[in-house]
Amino acid sequence: MANIVIIGPVYPLRGGLATYNERLAKAFQEQGDTVEIITFSLQYPSFLFPGQTQYSTEAPPVNLQIKALINSVNPLSWVSTGLYLKKSRPDFIIFRFWLPFMGPAFGTIARLAAQNNYTRILALTDNAIPHEKRIGDVPFTKYFLSACQGFITMSRAVLQDLEKLQPNKPKVYHPHPLYDNFGEPEPKAEAIKALGLDPAYQYLLFFGFIRAYKGLDLLLEAFADERLQALPVKLIIAGEFYEDAQPYEQIIKKYNLEHRLVRATEFIPNSQVVHYFCAADLVVQPYKHATQSGVSQIAYHFNKPMLVTDVGGLAELIPDGKAGYVTAAQPQAIADALLDFYTRNREAKLVANIPELKKQFSWESMVSTMKQLAQSLAPHSGNSARS
């Protein structure tokens, strides 16, 4: 069995990264491994955080060993964390890397930890090239990536990016596992009732933090299509704005869409996720560019078909015509697919395909992939990782 450290957001921080990291830790524990999670005492300074709060209001996860040691803007915390890991000698460390801003902290910690000539350094890499460009992205990312021995990606697009940035280091692809920690599916009628929605309508779902690259504006433009206006369909927008809402409000006003929307534009707690997905007929991800999306893996868990745009790694996971639709990132293409879904009654056929398709997205397989990668890395001394 292995002694593993995961570094990244977890409780009391909120959001998809925290949810994933907690579920990954439990997956290792289910295999008999010892897991410690090191998270942030300060993840972002408040002036850099676009949402309402960084912190969860829900109960903490049970049976997880969590230490909040890292202050993202305090180098002293990076040094103390790195020295702690150097001394504690885990078999391998998995850094959850999603943003260049974390590069200096993570790169410093990784270098210090590796000085014990035993611990292997892995990166679970969401993005090698960020969705939204900022000053410092390139040097911060290079500083971190150069401190790692191996990489796991959840999209082939990121794998290709890493091949360019770190061509001589091992890297493996494994699709994002299912988010199976939001409860069991519930009947659509119960979910609609739980959300206080009108059962006379059918519902589309846009879910997650609202940022420019996620294409909510494309979906609103598509939803304004006069062919869709004739259908008893409403769009649920469930997620907090992480940018100025005004451009979206202008589209809503321009096309008089307000009466066709259900607004839930705040952070959706984990306990409510089941209702939003189970109330929907189709989950729509109209991204302008992307790597992978945890939203797809929530939809799969709840047996919901999806519409995704043909960008990044989204189409890898949602076979067109089987789990849903893959369209161009254009309002017309999105509108055509939505019209096809409702007028040709596609839901039942697509839902029937999902149970078989989602078998490939297991946590056990992800854990096995990570451990195999760690064991393939030559240790700096004669020691080898326990397994």
Q: What is the three-class DSSP state of 40?
A: strand
Residue 86 backbone dihedrals phi, psi, to 5 degrees: -60, -40
- Identify the pLDDT of residue 291: 64
Q: How many CB atoms lie within 10 A of CB 288?
A: 16
198 located within any domain: yes
Is 304 found in the same domain as 225?
Answer: yes
Structural domain boundaries enclosing 156: 3-177+362-376
CATH number at residue 355: 3.40.50.2000
Q: What angle do CA 225, 230, 231 make, to 5 degrees?
A: 100
Is 70 found in the same domain as 41?
Answer: yes
Is 355 found in the same domain as 366?
Answer: no
- Identify the pLDDT of residue 386: 38
183 located within any domain: no
Provide the token pair at 239.
């997620």
Provide the token pair at 17.
């990264």
Is 152 found in the same domain as 195?
Answer: no
Domain count, the chain: 2
Find the radius of gyration of the CA atoms of the chain. Answer: 21
Strands (E), the chain: 3-7, 34-42, 65-71, 92-97, 120-125, 150-153, 171-173, 202-207, 233-238, 261-264, 282-285, 306-309, 324-327
Q: How many CB atoms lie within 10 A of CB 322?
A: 14
Is 77 found in the same domain as 108?
Answer: yes
**Order of strands across the sheet that contains 34-42:** 65-71, 34-42, 3-7, 92-97, 120-125, 150-153, 171-173
Is 73 found in the same domain as 165?
Answer: yes
386 located within any domain: no
355 located within any domain: yes
- Identify the pLDDT of residue 154: 92
106 located within any domain: yes
- Identify the pLDDT of residue 155: 87
Is 144 found in the same domain as 46?
Answer: yes
Provide the token pair at 4.
């593993």
30 located within any domain: yes
CA distances in angstroms from 306 to 238, 321, 353, listed in the order given: 15, 10, 12
User: 153: buried, middle or exposed (CB in 10 Å: 19+, 13-18, 0-12)?
Assistant: buried
- Identify the pLDDT of residue 51: 58
d(CA 138, CA 158): 15
- By the 8 A CB rule, do 43 and 9 touch? yes
387 located within any domain: no
Q: How many CB atoms lie within 10 A of CB 380?
A: 14
153 located within any domain: yes
Is 19 found in the same domain as 151?
Answer: yes
Is 124 found in the same domain as 271?
Answer: no
d(CA 180, CA 196): 25
Is 17 found in the same domain as 125?
Answer: yes
Is 368 found in the same domain as 313?
Answer: no
pLDDT tens for each residue of the chain, 387 residues long: 899 999 999 988 878 899 999 999 999 999 999 999 999 999 877 655 555 666 766 778 889 999 999 999 999 999 999 999 999 999 999 999 998 999 999 999 999 999 999 999 999 999 887 656 677 788 999 999 999 999 999 988 899 999 999 999 999 999 999 998 899 999 999 999 999 999 999 999 999 989 888 999 999 999 999 999 999 999 999 998 878 899 999 999 999 999 999 999 888 888 999 999 999 999 999 999 766 678 999 999 999 999 999 987 788 889 999 999 999 999 999 999 999 999 999 999 999 999 999 988 999 999 999 999 999 997 654 333 333
Is 132 found in the same domain as 193?
Answer: no
Provide the token pair at 247.
């451009």
Q: What is the three-class DSSP state of 262?
A: strand
